Structure 1
Protein backbone atom coordinates (compact mmCIF):
# COMPACT_ATOMS: atom_id res chain seq x y z
CA UNK A 1 0.00 0.00 0.00
CA UNK A 2 1.14 3.54 -0.76
CA UNK A 3 -0.18 6.47 1.27
CA UNK A 4 -0.01 10.21 0.62
CA UNK A 5 -1.22 11.96 3.83
CA UNK A 6 -1.38 15.58 4.89
CA UNK A 7 2.10 16.77 5.83
CA UNK A 8 0.89 17.85 9.29
CA UNK A 9 -0.36 14.36 10.03
CA UNK A 10 3.01 12.69 9.70
CA UNK A 11 3.50 11.19 13.16
CA UNK A 12 4.27 14.34 15.08
CA UNK A 13 3.09 15.68 18.41
CA UNK A 14 5.49 18.64 18.54
CA UNK A 15 3.71 20.51 15.73
CA UNK A 16 0.22 22.02 15.57
CA UNK A 17 -2.57 19.66 14.58
CA UNK A 18 -3.28 19.54 10.84
CA UNK A 19 -6.66 21.23 11.16
CA UNK A 20 -5.90 23.70 13.96
CA UNK A 21 -4.48 26.64 12.02
CA UNK A 22 -2.10 27.30 14.92
CA UNK A 23 1.46 28.51 14.30
CA UNK A 24 4.41 26.22 15.00
CA UNK A 25 6.07 28.73 17.32
CA UNK A 26 3.22 29.04 19.84
CA UNK A 27 1.81 25.86 21.37
CA UNK A 28 -0.52 27.64 23.83
CA UNK A 29 -3.69 26.39 22.10
CA UNK A 30 -2.55 22.95 20.98
CA UNK A 31 -3.62 20.93 24.02
CA UNK A 32 -7.12 22.43 24.06
CA UNK A 33 -7.48 21.82 20.31
CA UNK A 34 -6.34 18.20 20.63
CA UNK A 35 -8.73 17.65 23.55
CA UNK A 36 -11.63 19.03 21.51
CA UNK A 37 -10.57 16.99 18.49
CA UNK A 38 -10.54 13.89 20.70
CA UNK A 39 -13.95 14.76 22.17
CA UNK A 40 -15.56 15.30 18.78
CA UNK A 41 -13.84 12.48 16.85
CA UNK A 42 -13.31 9.65 19.38
CA UNK A 43 -16.70 7.96 18.83
CA UNK A 44 -16.45 8.22 15.04
CA UNK A 45 -12.89 6.88 15.10
CA UNK A 46 -13.82 3.97 17.41
CA UNK A 47 -16.63 2.90 15.09
CA UNK A 48 -14.47 3.16 12.00
CA UNK A 49 -11.57 1.31 13.62
CA UNK A 50 -13.98 -1.48 14.63
CA UNK A 51 -15.27 -1.67 11.06
CA UNK A 52 -11.72 -1.80 9.69
CA UNK A 53 -10.94 -4.66 12.11
CA UNK A 54 -14.10 -6.51 11.01
CA UNK A 55 -12.77 -6.34 7.45
CA UNK A 56 -9.62 -8.17 8.57
CA UNK A 57 -7.22 -5.26 8.96
CA UNK A 58 -5.47 -4.37 12.21
CA UNK A 59 -7.05 -1.67 14.41
CA UNK A 60 -6.29 1.90 13.42
CA UNK A 61 -3.70 3.93 15.35
CA UNK A 62 -5.26 6.15 18.02
CA UNK A 63 -7.46 8.85 16.42
CA UNK A 64 -5.99 8.19 12.98
CA UNK A 65 -8.26 7.20 10.14
CA UNK A 66 -5.73 5.29 8.02
CA UNK A 67 -2.85 2.90 8.63
CA UNK A 68 0.72 3.70 7.73
CA UNK A 69 1.76 2.11 4.48
CA UNK A 70 4.94 0.39 3.36
CA UNK A 71 5.70 3.54 1.37
CA UNK A 72 4.39 6.89 2.68
CA UNK A 73 4.80 10.07 0.65
CA UNK A 74 4.03 13.52 1.90
CA UNK A 75 4.25 16.68 -0.15
CA UNK A 76 5.67 19.74 1.59
CA UNK A 77 8.62 21.98 0.68
CA UNK A 78 11.68 21.39 2.86
CA UNK A 79 12.00 25.14 3.39
CA UNK A 80 8.64 25.15 5.20
CA UNK A 81 8.63 21.68 6.78
CA UNK A 82 8.85 20.93 10.48
CA UNK A 83 12.17 19.57 11.77
CA UNK A 84 11.63 15.85 12.18
CA UNK A 85 13.28 12.48 11.78
CA UNK A 86 11.05 9.97 10.05
CA UNK A 87 11.31 6.20 9.58
CA UNK A 88 12.82 5.06 6.29
CA UNK A 89 9.39 4.22 4.77
CA UNK A 90 8.41 7.93 4.92
CA UNK A 91 9.48 10.22 2.07
CA UNK A 92 9.06 14.00 1.83
CA UNK A 93 8.53 15.47 -1.64
CA UNK A 94 9.09 19.18 -2.16
CA UNK A 95 6.40 19.17 -4.81
CA UNK A 96 4.45 16.84 -7.02
CA UNK A 97 2.78 18.91 -9.71
CA UNK A 98 1.52 17.49 -12.96
CA UNK A 99 3.64 18.67 -15.85
CA UNK A 100 0.47 19.75 -17.64
CA UNK A 101 -0.22 22.42 -15.00
CA UNK A 102 0.79 26.04 -15.40
CA UNK A 103 3.96 27.30 -13.73
CA UNK A 104 3.59 27.85 -9.98
CA UNK A 105 5.26 30.45 -7.78
CA UNK A 106 5.43 29.88 -4.03
CA UNK A 107 3.20 32.56 -2.46
CA UNK A 108 4.52 34.57 0.53
CA UNK A 109 2.07 33.28 3.13
CA UNK A 110 4.24 31.32 5.55
CA UNK A 111 4.72 33.92 8.28
CA UNK A 112 6.41 31.64 10.77
CA UNK A 113 9.27 31.12 8.33
CA UNK A 114 9.66 34.72 7.30
CA UNK A 115 7.69 34.23 4.09
CA UNK A 116 4.73 36.49 4.90
CA UNK A 117 2.44 37.81 7.63
CA UNK A 118 0.01 36.02 9.92
CA UNK A 119 -3.32 37.61 10.77
CA UNK A 120 -6.04 36.15 12.96
CA UNK A 121 -8.28 34.35 10.48
CA UNK A 122 -11.55 35.68 11.87
CA UNK A 123 -10.67 38.73 13.97
CA UNK A 124 -8.13 40.85 12.06
CA UNK A 125 -8.89 44.54 11.74
CA UNK A 126 -8.82 46.62 8.57
CA UNK A 127 -5.73 48.39 9.91
CA UNK A 128 -3.93 45.09 10.54
CA UNK A 129 -4.69 43.91 7.02
CA UNK A 130 -3.63 47.10 5.26
CA UNK A 131 -0.53 47.38 7.47
CA UNK A 132 0.48 43.81 6.66
CA UNK A 133 -0.03 44.39 2.95
CA UNK A 134 2.07 47.57 3.01
CA UNK A 135 4.90 45.75 4.82
CA UNK A 136 4.74 42.75 2.50
CA UNK A 137 4.64 44.69 -0.76
CA UNK A 138 7.54 46.87 0.39
CA UNK A 139 9.79 43.98 1.48
CA UNK A 140 12.18 43.07 -1.37
CA UNK A 141 13.83 40.22 0.57
CA UNK A 142 10.40 38.73 1.20
CA UNK A 143 9.93 38.32 -2.55
CA UNK A 144 13.44 36.90 -2.97
CA UNK A 145 13.11 34.16 -0.31
CA UNK A 146 10.09 32.36 -1.81
CA UNK A 147 11.50 32.80 -5.31
CA UNK A 148 14.71 31.03 -4.22
CA UNK A 149 12.75 28.34 -2.35
CA UNK A 150 10.59 27.79 -5.44
CA UNK A 151 13.67 27.26 -7.62
CA UNK A 152 14.99 24.60 -5.21
CA UNK A 153 11.59 22.90 -5.09
CA UNK A 154 11.34 22.71 -8.87
CA UNK A 155 14.92 21.44 -9.13
CA UNK A 156 14.19 18.50 -6.80
CA UNK A 157 11.45 17.25 -9.18
CA UNK A 158 9.00 15.72 -6.70
CA UNK A 159 6.88 14.29 -9.51
CA UNK A 160 9.65 11.97 -10.70
CA UNK A 161 10.77 11.19 -7.15
CA UNK A 162 7.21 10.12 -6.27
CA UNK A 163 7.01 7.97 -9.41
CA UNK A 164 10.33 6.31 -8.55
CA UNK A 165 9.22 5.59 -4.96
CA UNK A 166 5.91 4.14 -6.14
CA UNK A 167 7.70 1.93 -8.69
CA UNK A 168 10.10 0.74 -5.97
CA UNK A 169 7.16 -0.08 -3.70
CA UNK A 170 5.45 -1.99 -6.53
CA UNK A 171 8.65 -3.95 -7.22
CA UNK A 172 8.77 -4.94 -3.52
CA UNK A 173 5.12 -6.04 -3.72
CA UNK A 174 4.16 -3.44 -1.12
Structure 2
Protein backbone atom coordinates (compact mmCIF):
# COMPACT_ATOMS: atom_id res chain seq x y z
CA UNK A 1 0.00 0.00 0.00
CA UNK A 2 1.42 3.36 -0.99
CA UNK A 3 1.71 6.27 1.42
CA UNK A 4 -1.14 8.10 -0.37
CA UNK A 5 -3.38 5.02 -0.08
CA UNK A 6 -2.52 4.74 3.63
CA UNK A 7 -3.44 8.40 4.19
CA UNK A 8 -6.70 7.97 2.28
CA UNK A 9 -7.50 4.84 4.28
CA UNK A 10 -6.79 6.73 7.50
CA UNK A 11 -9.11 9.56 6.49
CA UNK A 12 -11.89 7.10 5.64
CA UNK A 13 -11.46 5.38 9.00
CA UNK A 14 -11.60 8.76 10.77
CA UNK A 15 -14.82 9.68 8.93
CA UNK A 16 -16.30 6.29 9.79
CA UNK A 17 -15.24 6.71 13.44
CA UNK A 18 -16.94 10.13 13.52
CA UNK A 19 -20.17 8.63 12.13
CA UNK A 20 -19.94 5.77 14.63
CA UNK A 21 -19.48 8.32 17.42
CA UNK A 22 -22.64 10.13 16.34
CA UNK A 23 -24.47 6.84 16.35
CA UNK A 24 -23.21 5.91 19.84
CA UNK A 25 -24.06 9.25 21.41
CA UNK A 26 -27.61 9.11 20.12
CA UNK A 27 -27.22 12.14 17.87
CA UNK A 28 -27.92 9.79 15.00
CA UNK A 29 -30.01 6.70 15.69
CA UNK A 30 -31.24 3.87 13.57
CA UNK A 31 -34.82 2.71 13.97
CA UNK A 32 -36.16 -0.70 13.10
CA UNK A 33 -37.69 -0.75 9.67
CA UNK A 34 -40.53 -3.01 8.66
CA UNK A 35 -39.97 -3.75 5.02
CA UNK A 36 -41.92 -5.32 2.22
CA UNK A 37 -41.27 -9.02 2.85
CA UNK A 38 -38.70 -10.48 0.46
CA UNK A 39 -37.06 -13.87 0.25
CA UNK A 40 -33.80 -13.98 2.23
CA UNK A 41 -30.66 -14.41 0.16
CA UNK A 42 -29.00 -17.70 1.08
CA UNK A 43 -25.35 -17.91 2.09
CA UNK A 44 -22.73 -20.32 3.32
CA UNK A 45 -19.68 -18.81 4.99
CA UNK A 46 -16.72 -20.09 7.01
CA UNK A 47 -17.55 -20.16 10.71
CA UNK A 48 -15.31 -19.18 13.62
CA UNK A 49 -15.05 -22.81 14.69
CA UNK A 50 -14.17 -23.99 11.18
CA UNK A 51 -17.61 -25.35 10.26
CA UNK A 52 -19.65 -23.61 7.57
CA UNK A 53 -22.48 -21.33 8.64
CA UNK A 54 -25.49 -21.24 6.32
CA UNK A 55 -28.89 -19.64 6.59
CA UNK A 56 -30.56 -22.82 5.32
CA UNK A 57 -29.43 -24.64 8.48
CA UNK A 58 -31.85 -22.50 10.49
CA UNK A 59 -34.99 -23.08 8.43
CA UNK A 60 -38.04 -23.03 10.71
CA UNK A 61 -36.44 -20.54 13.13
CA UNK A 62 -36.61 -16.78 13.30
CA UNK A 63 -33.08 -15.57 12.57
CA UNK A 64 -31.42 -12.24 13.24
CA UNK A 65 -28.65 -11.72 10.66
CA UNK A 66 -26.09 -9.13 11.79
CA UNK A 67 -23.27 -7.61 9.77
CA UNK A 68 -20.47 -6.10 11.82
CA UNK A 69 -16.72 -5.55 12.06
CA UNK A 70 -14.45 -5.72 15.12
CA UNK A 71 -13.20 -2.10 14.95
CA UNK A 72 -16.72 -0.59 14.76
CA UNK A 73 -17.66 0.76 18.20
CA UNK A 74 -21.46 0.75 17.59
CA UNK A 75 -21.15 -2.87 16.40
CA UNK A 76 -19.32 -3.84 19.58
CA UNK A 77 -21.83 -2.03 21.80
CA UNK A 78 -24.68 -3.80 20.01
CA UNK A 79 -22.88 -7.15 20.48
CA UNK A 80 -22.69 -6.62 24.23
CA UNK A 81 -26.33 -5.59 24.49
CA UNK A 82 -27.43 -8.69 22.59
CA UNK A 83 -25.27 -10.94 24.78
CA UNK A 84 -27.28 -9.77 27.81
CA UNK A 85 -30.59 -10.79 26.15
CA UNK A 86 -29.62 -13.80 24.03
CA UNK A 87 -30.25 -16.48 26.66
CA UNK A 88 -33.80 -15.21 27.21
CA UNK A 89 -34.70 -16.17 23.63
CA UNK A 90 -32.46 -19.17 23.17
CA UNK A 91 -35.17 -21.75 24.02
CA UNK A 92 -37.51 -20.25 21.44
CA UNK A 93 -37.08 -21.05 17.76
CA UNK A 94 -34.63 -18.14 17.37
CA UNK A 95 -30.98 -17.70 16.43
CA UNK A 96 -28.57 -14.87 15.78
CA UNK A 97 -25.97 -15.20 13.04
CA UNK A 98 -23.15 -12.66 13.04
CA UNK A 99 -21.37 -12.06 9.76
CA UNK A 100 -18.13 -10.15 10.13
CA UNK A 101 -16.52 -8.08 7.40
CA UNK A 102 -13.17 -8.20 9.19
CA UNK A 103 -10.06 -8.85 7.12
CA UNK A 104 -7.90 -9.67 10.14
CA UNK A 105 -9.10 -13.01 11.54
CA UNK A 106 -7.12 -12.56 14.77
CA UNK A 107 -8.94 -9.30 15.55
CA UNK A 108 -12.26 -10.94 14.61
CA UNK A 109 -11.71 -13.90 16.94
CA UNK A 110 -10.50 -11.61 19.74
CA UNK A 111 -13.68 -9.48 19.43
CA UNK A 112 -15.88 -12.59 19.55
CA UNK A 113 -14.16 -13.67 22.77
CA UNK A 114 -14.08 -10.19 24.34
CA UNK A 115 -17.79 -9.63 23.66
CA UNK A 116 -18.61 -13.19 24.86
CA UNK A 117 -20.86 -13.99 21.90
CA UNK A 118 -21.96 -17.61 21.93
CA UNK A 119 -24.08 -17.67 18.79
CA UNK A 120 -22.91 -18.60 15.26
CA UNK A 121 -20.13 -16.40 13.89
CA UNK A 122 -19.19 -16.27 10.21
CA UNK A 123 -16.57 -14.40 8.23
CA UNK A 124 -17.68 -12.74 5.00
CA UNK A 125 -15.71 -12.99 1.78
CA UNK A 126 -13.55 -9.90 1.19
CA UNK A 127 -14.20 -9.67 -2.55
CA UNK A 128 -17.35 -7.86 -3.73
CA UNK A 129 -18.40 -10.62 -6.12
CA UNK A 130 -18.86 -13.14 -3.30
CA UNK A 131 -19.56 -10.74 -0.41
CA UNK A 132 -22.71 -11.64 1.51
CA UNK A 133 -22.92 -8.10 2.90
CA UNK A 134 -22.97 -6.78 -0.66
CA UNK A 135 -25.72 -9.24 -1.67
CA UNK A 136 -27.77 -8.20 1.37
CA UNK A 137 -27.19 -4.46 0.73
CA UNK A 138 -25.61 -3.99 4.17
CA UNK A 139 -24.22 -0.57 3.31
CA UNK A 140 -23.63 0.78 6.84
CA UNK A 141 -22.50 -1.13 9.90
CA UNK A 142 -23.91 -2.45 12.06
CA UNK A 143 -26.64 -3.78 9.78
CA UNK A 144 -29.22 -6.37 10.72
CA UNK A 145 -32.18 -8.20 9.23
CA UNK A 146 -34.90 -10.28 10.87
CA UNK A 147 -35.83 -13.44 8.96
CA UNK A 148 -39.06 -15.28 9.73
CA UNK A 149 -39.25 -19.11 9.96
CA UNK A 150 -40.20 -19.37 6.28
CA UNK A 151 -37.03 -17.56 5.16
CA UNK A 152 -38.55 -14.14 4.51
CA UNK A 153 -36.86 -10.88 5.50
CA UNK A 154 -39.46 -9.00 7.57
CA UNK A 155 -37.43 -6.18 9.18
CA UNK A 156 -34.19 -4.27 8.68
CA UNK A 157 -32.07 -2.64 11.40
CA UNK A 158 -33.67 -5.15 13.76
CA UNK A 159 -30.82 -5.95 16.18
CA UNK A 160 -32.10 -3.73 18.95
CA UNK A 161 -35.61 -5.25 18.97
CA UNK A 162 -34.63 -7.90 21.55
CA UNK A 163 -32.77 -5.26 23.57
CA UNK A 164 -35.24 -2.38 23.59
CA UNK A 165 -38.42 -4.44 23.98
CA UNK A 166 -37.58 -7.97 25.15
CA UNK A 167 -41.17 -8.83 26.09
CA UNK A 168 -42.52 -7.59 22.76
CA UNK A 169 -39.76 -9.43 20.90
CA UNK A 170 -40.54 -12.65 22.79
CA UNK A 171 -44.23 -12.29 21.84
CA UNK A 172 -43.22 -11.70 18.22
CA UNK A 173 -41.08 -14.85 18.23
CA UNK A 174 -43.96 -16.88 19.68
CA UNK A 175 -46.40 -15.54 17.06
CA UNK A 176 -43.96 -16.19 14.24
CA UNK A 177 -43.37 -19.78 15.34
CA UNK A 178 -47.07 -20.48 16.01
CA UNK A 179 -48.15 -18.89 12.73
CA UNK A 180 -45.49 -20.68 10.69
CA UNK A 181 -43.73 -17.42 9.88
CA UNK A 182 -46.55 -14.91 9.83
CA UNK A 183 -46.73 -12.16 12.44
CA UNK A 184 -50.30 -10.98 12.18
CA UNK A 185 -50.46 -11.01 8.38
**TM band (smaller chain):** under 0.3
Query: Could you state the TM-score of these two structures normalised by the residue count of structure 2?
Result: 0.23
Decide which structure has greater strand share.
2
Higher relative contact order (CA 8 A, sep 6+): 2
Query: Could you state the TM-score of these two structures normalised by the residue count of structure 1?
Result: 0.23
